[in-house]
Chain A
Amino acid sequence: MDLTPIWLTLKLAVIATLLLFIAGVPVAWWLSKGRSFFKIVLEAIITMPLVLPPSVLGFYLLMAFSPQHGVGQWLLHTFNIQFVFSFQGLVLASVIYSMPFMIGPVKSALQQLPVSLSQASWSLGKSRWQTFVHVLLPNIKPSLLTAVVLTFAHTLGEFGVVLMIGGNIPGITRVASIAVYDSVEQMDYSSANTYSLILFSITFVLVVAVFVFNKYHLKSPLE
């Protein structure tokens, strides 16, 4: 029984979640303020992976980053980076595909905080960044946790996007969801069952943990 796909999946989920947390939280903060047309369009683009068939997204990523075309060719020749059929390609696809799961809950939580919290902090001479770090973020902890866990769990379960851009290269792009499919194709139901059970267990434990945490902490800190 080869457990490499499980480790690869966990590695991918950790990296994608970390990248999305670092980049997604400030983006969510920016989106939570004001409603310009540009922000609406950007938010729609970020939300697209929720409704788009993963294979469509994967296809466009494959086209965009193919080493034979435009951006992919430029990246390969300039930086020697290849996103297609590589682990970094999986990371890129995962970040794009799971982006709404990080940005959505954080943005909603920030919008629900009274604007007077920020104003009170500004009146004490604190900058917008200090206000964000010391006042806003600590008061949306349950939503931050929900966003992190949903992003992680969603990345664990990716199939269509990663298959399109990464293929099925053992040790490099063969993540657990692809290993399940591959095992079934080879009629190796025992391996398929083991991979599925591990994925199911991890996801179940994560989701239950969030529900338990939120049961005690989801009450608005303002109540």
Chain B
Amino acid sequence: MIRIAIETKLKAYSGQQELRIVREFHAGSITKIFGPSGSGKTTLLKIIAGFVEPEKGSIVVDDITWLDTNSKIFVAPQKRKAGFVFQDYALFPNMTVHQHMAYATSDEAWISKLLKIGKLDAFITHKPGYLSGGQQQRLAIFRALATKPKLLLMDEPFSALDPKMRSELIGDLKDLFAELGTTVLIVSHYPQELEGLTEHELNLH
């Protein structure tokens, strides 16, 4: 169970915008987060991961407080270990596909399984610069899953995938999330692309 109650100002070109969210996410649930540009979707994920600190609020995950601005509690991102799929992938240019996975986990069997599901097993010696956009995005997704996170935050994770690949991947990911019991929050500009994956939604407007 994840309980979030946060309030923070958002950077905006004109006027002032605020992000206010009070919400609970059940363990193992998959929730899509959508809303117009600048509504704070990415900021919300970054606050939960610990990359950004909100002005006010609290985040409690499985009865452990990650953030409480009143009590000045702030758990570092390294300790939260929330899986994060970045919109720009954030792949490490110096590492091959396999090195990305090995940087996250030493479990070779798990790495092999993930790379096979992600159809990346033929590219293990390739660096990101030699992968297509779709392959890079899949690597970003499976790197985040390599640590078997209890919470996975995904920012536009399927934007570079063709419909067929996306549909296959969504089926495989659903099985993986169920196997790991992972709670998943997915930000998307196009909620319809997540059909069949998410059963809850959060509209930031």
Q: Which residue on B lies nearest to A123, using beta carbons?
A: B84
Once the chains bind, are A124 and B103 in contact (CB under 8 Å)? yes
CA distance A117 to B103 in the complex (A): 13
Complex CA gap A34/B51 in Å reads 14
The one of B49, B143, B146, B147 in contact with A119, judged by C-beta atoms closer than 8 angstroms, is B49
CB atoms of A124 and B129 under 8 A apart: no
Known: A135-B94, A221-B93. A119 touches B51 (CB 8 A): yes
The answer to whether B92 and A120 have CB atoms under 8 Å apart is yes
B86 at the interface (CB under 8 A from A): yes
Q: How far is the CA of A135 from the CA of B50 in the complex (A)?
A: 19
Give the Cβ gap from B160 to chain A, nearest Cβ, in Å.
16
Q: State A73–B49 Cα separation when bound (angstroms).
A: 54
Within 8 A of B (CB), among A109-130: 114, 116-117, 119-127
Q: Which of B75-83, B116-124, B182-190 contacts the other chain?
A: B75-83
Contact between chains at A116 and B77 (CB < 8 Å) = no
CB pair A116–B94 under 8 Å, yes or no, is no
Picked from A124, A139, A221, A222, the residue with its CB within 8 Å of the CB of B81 is A124
Q: Could you tell me which residues of chain A, from 176 to 223, have a CB within 8 Å of some CB in chain B?
A: 221-223
B114 within 8 Å of A (CB atoms): no
Complex contact A126–B78 (CB within 8 A)? yes
Contact call B129/A125, Cβ cutoff below 8 A: no
Any B CB within 8 A of the CB of A138: yes
| Other-chain residue from A124, A126, A221, A223 in contact with B143 (beta carbon distance below 8 A) | A124
A114 to B51, CA, bound (A): 13
Residues of B within 8 A of A11 (CB): none
Chain B residues closer than 8 Å to A221, beta-carbon distance? 93-94, 129
- Per the CB 8 Å criterion, the residue count for chain A at the interface is 19
- Asked if B94 contacts A138 (CB within 8 A), the reply is yes
CB–CB B78/A139 < 8 A: no
Cβ–Cβ < 8 Å partners of A123 in chain B: 49, 77, 80-84, 144
CB of B193 closer than 8 Å to a CB of A: no
Residue A33 lies at the interface, judged by CB distance under 8 Å to chain B? no
Chain B residues within an 8 Å CB radius of A119: 46, 49, 51, 77, 84, 86, 90
- The CA-CA distance from A125 to B82 in the complex, in Å, is 9
Output the nearest chain A residue to B152 by Cβ-Cβ distance. A123
- Pick from B76, B86, B94: contact of A120, CB below 8 A: B86
Given known pairs A123-B83, A223-B129, the reply for A117 and B104 (CB within 8 Å) is: no
Cross-chain contact A117 with B92 (CB below 8 angstroms): yes
User: Once bound together, how far apart are the Cα atoms of A79 and B34, in whole Å?
Assistant: 66
Q: A215–B13 Cα gap in the complex (Å)? A: 39
Residues in chain B within 8 A of chain A (CB atoms):
46, 49-51, 76-84, 86, 88, 90-94, 103-104, 129, 143-144, 146-147
27 A-B contacts, Cβ less than 8 Å apart? A114-B90, A116-B90, A117-B90, A117-B92, A119-B46, A119-B84, A119-B86, A119-B90, A120-B84, A120-B86, A120-B143, A121-B92, A122-B50, A122-B77, A123-B81, A123-B83, A123-B144, A124-B81, A124-B104, A124-B146, A125-B81, A126-B103, A135-B92, A138-B94, A139-B94, A221-B93, A221-B129
